[in-house]
A and B are shown apart, each in its own frame.
Chain A
Amino acid sequence: MSKAGLSWVMGIALLVVLALSLDGYAGDLYRKLLLTAALCLSFNYLFGISGQLAFSHIAFYGIGAYGVVILTYKVGLPLPLAIVGAVVVCGLLSFVVAVPATRLKGFYLALATLAFAQLFNVLLLQGGDVTGGPEGISGFSAKDYFGLPSTGSAYTVVIVMILIFTFTVLLLLDQSWFGRACRAIRDNEAAAEAMGINIFRTKVAAFMISSTLAGVAGIAYAFADNYVNPIVFSLEPLFLLLFMVIVGGTGRHAGAILGAVVLFLAPEVLEAWVGRHYLLGFGLIMVLVILFLPTGLIGLVDRINSTFWTKAVNR
């Protein structure tokens, strides 16, 4: 087996072993961490690789979550159909948002997607019986399928699969012509166009793929807590996602995962010392990283690695 293949198998095995061995609070934390990592990966593709600062990412996470819950428990579709339905809704909505939004330059994209995200939140709060208003929807749970349980560590394995699926899709895209086209557009739109890249189609496709992947993570989230409410899908978590991607290393898959792990687990450690003021620390880290570590934590890891290896070779 190739070296890369081996590290994939090792990585997946580690994630699954963790999924099976953690339960209770640790298991819950682990599920949320996996979902956060999946969101970071897709947001990194959108923001870091395609250069689209879109504030709608968490909204699509919410559309996936609310979509599947509403389709199963309010509309009455069977779960597999509802899942497909929620994915389709995410895809269609992301298309509707992307077509006008990606034509906007720079920060206007951020603002248009911000307006969309805020509208989505207003709808969640005001949706009455359909969305459950500020309290959200609770008291549902996925039924067992194929004789497999849909709770606890078995469900964690499902989330591991979703993370791996997200990572694989994004990695394959990134290594294909499509990924190169996205990066070319991010770095210089005019030059990319001159090389024959269809700017509009590439941007729309990147937006749709990453937003739909966020929706898929959202579907998984709905059954992790068996509870959906508007606060989870507001603007604040989007800031956190942005911080994770930047602190980890913008435009790098490994960076997105590293940022997700570090900033997701940091409150667990810090909250005991400083209460909710850990957020102040997040702000500081964000500012310091942009000022002094433009390549993020993963850049730092690279630097340590390379000095270590040069030393080892020179010795």
Chain B
Amino acid sequence: MADFLELMVSVGEAGSIYALVALAYQVVLRPTGIINFAVGEWAALGAFAAVSFITWWKLPLIAGLPLCIAVVGAVGWITEVLTVQPLLKREAPELSPVLTLLGMLIIYRETVSSVYGVDNLFVPMPFGFGRIEIGPFAGTSQSFFILLVSAITFFLIWLFFERTVWGKAFQAVAINRTAAAVLGINLRLVTALSFALGGGIAGLAGVLQAPITSVHFLMGLPLAIKGFSALVIGGVGRIEGALLGGLLLAFVEKITIRYAPIPSGMALGAPFLLLILFLLMRPSGLMRARGEQ
């Protein structure tokens, strides 16, 4: 049982990161309809920013974390202005922005690998290697830190979308772009902001992930795949969908690796099987958007 509960902490840890990446997809996807596979690279950029600010410059976490988020958010903003806005302006096919962002994925990755090299880099655990026990749950300080920060982030993003005028503007654009524009919502600004927000969230996921695994220029794509799987499992319509999907994906992954009587390499296939099942049985995900039947 103790073993299982400890596993649950690591499910929460991995699941939170998948959920944050899924959320980064979602904040871009909903107002724009663009699936941005480069979010994984944004997370990687966040991790590399952490290497610069926290490992090398030795900034305290309280300064380093916001700085990393701001840097990746700015990257998201600039990416939107340079590569997405011109396409939206000339009403290029729906697929075009997705494909330019795939190109950007390569650009980010190769830029990072030429600046930071191809070796593994490390970010220290902000609260040391100590083990923390809260009731029956036990894990590293980083696990609990990740859980806490993700919970706060999800709460804030939820507040933003549900309780602020700006969030409502995002929702309105998500529901009907033309009507939103008629109502005086600045579409261009909302799109740019959604990219900046997505960048910030993905960057946060990268900073949180960095101390657990090493930081490597190829770390982005697996995160992008996991995050998108989480989004599909949870459903793209609601903020909670990303969280639920991330946790469920991590749960299946960890449970098969720990308990299934198959080699652990084979268990890596389990999330993909889960994803295929979800796509076939329930393409809208667990959570349906409000207003949908």
In Å, the complex CA distance between A290 and B96 comes to 7
Please tell me if A119 contacts chain B, counting CB pairs below 8 Å.
Answer: yes
* B95 contacts A53, C-beta separation under 8 Å: yes
* A126 contacts B265, C-beta separation under 8 Å: yes
* B86 contacts A291, C-beta separation under 8 Å: yes
Please tell me if B81 contacts chain A, counting CB pairs below 8 Å.
Answer: no
A128 to B, closest residue via Cβ: B263
* A283 contacts B268, C-beta separation under 8 Å: no
In Å, the complex CA distance between A181 and B263 comes to 46
In Å, the complex CA distance between A246 and B83 comes to 16
Taking CB atoms, residues of chain B closer than 8 Å to A112 are: 275-276, 279-280
* B272 contacts A243, C-beta separation under 8 Å: no
B103 to A, closest residue via Cβ: A286
* A283 contacts B273, C-beta separation under 8 Å: no
In Å, the complex CA distance between A4 and B287 comes to 56
Q: Is the interface of A mostly helix, strand, loop or mixed?
A: helix
In Å, the complex CA distance between A18 and B275 comes to 46
A100 to B, closest residue via Cβ: B280
Taking CB atoms, residues of chain A closer than 8 Å to B110 are: 277, 279-280, 283
Please tell me if A178 contacts chain B, counting CB pairs below 8 Å.
Answer: no
Q: How many CB-defined contacts (below 8 Å) exist between A and B? A: 96
- The segment from B42-50, B135-143, B161-169, B225-233 found at the interface with A is B225-233
Q: Of A53, A107, A287, which one neighbours B83 at CB under 8 angstroms?
A: A287
Taking CB atoms, residues of chain A closer than 8 Å to B96 are: 290, 294
* B269 contacts A108, C-beta separation under 8 Å: no
Please tell me if B283 contacts chain A, counting CB pairs below 8 Å.
Answer: yes
* A242 contacts B86, C-beta separation under 8 Å: no
In Å, the complex CA distance between A112 and B232 comes to 10
Instruction: Count chain B residues whose beta carbon lies closer than 8 angstroms to a beta carbon of A.
Output: 37
* B283 contacts A287, C-beta separation under 8 Å: no
Q: A115-B276, A118-B272, A122-B268 are in contact. Are A290 and B103 (CB under 8 A)?
A: yes
* B114 contacts A280, C-beta separation under 8 Å: yes
* A246 contacts B107, C-beta separation under 8 Å: no
* A116 contacts B276, C-beta separation under 8 Å: yes
In Å, the complex CA distance between A286 and B97 comes to 11
* B92 contacts A294, C-beta separation under 8 Å: yes
Please tell me if B7 contacts chain A, counting CB pairs below 8 Å.
Answer: no
* B87 contacts A119, C-beta separation under 8 Å: no
Please tell me if B212 contacts chain A, counting CB pairs below 8 Å.
Answer: no
In Å, the complex CA distance between A117 and B103 comes to 20
In Å, the complex CA distance between A280 and B110 comes to 5
Which residues of chain B have a CB within 8 Å of any CB of chain A? 35, 83, 86-87, 92, 95-96, 98-100, 102-107, 109-111, 114, 221, 225, 228-229, 232, 263, 265-266, 268-269, 272-273, 275-276, 279-280, 283
Which residues of chain A have a CB within 8 Å of any CB of chain B? 53, 100, 104-105, 107-108, 111-112, 114-116, 118-119, 122-123, 125-126, 235, 239, 242-243, 246, 277, 279-280, 282-287, 290-291, 294
7 pairs, CB–CB < 8 Å, chain A vs chain B: A53-B95, A115-B229, A115-B279, A126-B265, A239-B102, A286-B106, A291-B86
